[in-house]
Each structure stands twice: as C-alpha cells, then as structure tokens.
Amino acid sequence: MKRFLVLTKAMFLIHLRNRATLFWNLAFPIFVLVIYSQVFGQNTVGNTDYMSWAAPGMMVYNMLSFGLLSSGTIMIQMREKGILQRLQASPMPAAQLVGSYLLVNVAIGCLQGALILGFSALAFQMPLTATGILRAVPMMLIGIVTFVALGQVISGVSPTVGAAMIIGQVINFGQMFITDMVMPIDMMPDGIQKVAPYLPAYAVAQLVRPPLAVGTYSPDLWPNLLIAGLYAVVAGAAAAKLFRWAPRG
C-alpha cells in the first residue's frame, strides 16, 4: 500500500509540474468562459441561461481535452524517459500502476470540474444545488474514465508525443463544437445532429449537464450511459492491448 501511495503522489506531481497541463486544463477553461459570457451571456438555451448551460459543457470539454491530450502524452513521456521500464522492473504489480494512474487522472479531472463550477457560481451566479452536484459526480467520473481510456488508446498507437498531440487535437476539436458542449446541437446541420449523439463527448455532456443546470437527470439517461460505457469498455480493452512499457525500437 505504501508503494502505491508513493507512486500516486509521484504521478500527481508529474502532472502538476507540466506547465501545459496547468494552463490548458486549469486556466484556459476559465478564460474561455469569460469570453463566452461576453459574447453569449445574455442568451438562453431552452429555459436555462446560456452560462449555466455552457459551464457544464465546458467542464466536459475540459475532461475530454485532458483525457485525450494531457493524460495520453504524459504516458508517452513516461515511456520515453524510461520511467515505465523502471516501474516494470520493480516489484510493483502492473495493476497498481494502472490504478495509481487512473486515480491521479480522476483526481485532476475532479479538481478541474470543481474549479469551473466554483468560478461559474461566483462569476455567473450559476444556481448549483447539493442534490445536483451529488447527481453529477458519478457522471463526471464516467466521463473522466471514458476520456482517459480514449487517451491511452492514442498513447498506444502514437510513436511520439508529437504524433499523439496531432491525433488528440483532431479528435478533441472535432467534437468541441458539434457535440452539444458549448453550442446547442439544434444549431448544427441535420447530418451532424444525426451523428453527434453517438459520439462520447455528446453522451457525457447529456449525463453531466442536466444535474448541474437544472438538478435532474436527462430523460435519455440510460441510452447515454450505455454509449459512454461502451466507449469506456472498448477503449479500455484497446488501451490494454496497445500498452507498451518501452518505446518502439
């Protein structure tokens, strides 16, 4: 147990010492919310003011970005620096490595979410309730695990950090505007409206937003849970298959 805690602390520090992680996953979302508040702040989406609708979506986008980009590239960096090989040679079981890495990613994802929600409540008077937050937390965890699993697939197929960044950015920005995170899907062309509900970011947004914005679950709770769960399971299995301790020779 002691080795697990030491490894978890070390991985947590590796993430926090990464300046790109600190900026893109902690500072950048706040900056974007401020911009959106100036441009769209007077609008509503259905019966919800835009910022209360957009803040949970930005939180989901942040989880997506962290899972695809930060989480995936840090694993590659650990591989390239020989950290994974040293861990492989240690007496620590591989399951503890996976558990530690996942725990760190979940902790950082929750920290990001808390920062966004806290800022939104203070700056935009987002009407958060204890019940809504409690209902949203399990959905956030599902989203974090799903996106981290997808990020580990990228780290498994990418030979370098640069390649992982390109793949991750394409998938990340490809979903940013079309999956109901920051722009309502009914503003999208019909073709996108038909495809987007089957993408992971859309499913997670529908799981996280209703509890935070209005305090209730989405009417499509179970279909979206199924879609997010399928992505998590399939991506997790693929990531395990593609995992490498050492860089490709």
Domain housing 50:
2-242
What does the pLDDT look like over 104-162, one tens digit per residue? 889 988 988 999 999 999 999 999 999 999 999 999 999 999 999 999 999 999 999 99
45 φ, ψ (degrees, to nearest 5): -120, 105
Residue with structure tokens 């209730």?
216
Q: What is the mean pLDDT of the segment spanning 179-205?
A: 94
The residues pairing with 48 across neighbouring beta strands, listed in sequence order, are 45
Res 246 pLDDT > 70: yes
Query: 144 with 63: CB under 8 angstroms?
Result: yes
Token readout for 36 is: 């959106």
- H or E stretch at 111: helix 94-124
For residue 42, being part of any structural domain is answered with yes
109 three-state secondary structure: helix
For residue 219, being part of any structural domain is answered with yes
For residue 249, being part of any structural domain is answered with no
For residue 247, being part of any structural domain is answered with no
Largest CA distance in the chain: 58
Nearest one of 68, 20, 48, 36 to 175, comparing CA atoms: 68
What does the pLDDT look like over 15-61, one tens digit per residue? 777 777 777 777 888 999 999 999 998 999 988 999 999 999 999 99
- Secondary structure letter of residue 188 according to DSSP: S
**Count of helix runs (H) and strand runs (E) in the chain:** 12, 2
Q: Identify the pLDDT of residue 41.
A: 87
Q: Is 191 exposed, middle or buried (0-12, 13-18, 19+ CB in 10 A)?
A: exposed
For residue 204, being part of any structural domain is answered with yes
Token readout for 115 is: 């920062």
What does the pLDDT look like over 196-206, one tens digit per residue? 999 999 999 99
Q: Identify the pLDDT of residue 192.
A: 93
Res 189 pLDDT > 90: yes
pTM summary value: 0.92
For residue 20, being part of any structural domain is answered with yes
Token readout for 61 is: 């986008």
Res 87 pLDDT > 90: no
For residue 58, being part of any structural domain is answered with yes
Q: What is the mean pLDDT of the segment spanning 173-199?
A: 92
Between 83 and 248, whose confidence is greater?
Answer: 83
pLDDT band for position 93 (50/70/90)?
Answer: confident
Cα angle vertex 85, ends 79, 88, to 5°?
125
* Number of C-beta neighbours around residue 95 at 10 A: 9
158 φ, ψ (degrees, to nearest 5): -95, 130
For residue 196, being part of any structural domain is answered with yes
What does the pLDDT look like over 5-26, one tens digit per residue? 888 888 888 777 777 777 777 7
Which amino acid, 24?
A: W
Q: Identify the pLDDT of residue 211.
A: 96
Number of structural domains found in the chain: 1
Res 249 pLDDT > 70: no
Res 164 pLDDT > 90: yes
Query: 180 with 205: CB under 8 angstroms?
Result: yes
Distance CA 97, CA 228 (A): 24
Q: Identify the pLDDT of residue 38.
A: 93
Distance CA 50, CA 54 (A): 6
Q: Report the chain's C-alpha Rg in angstroms.
A: 18
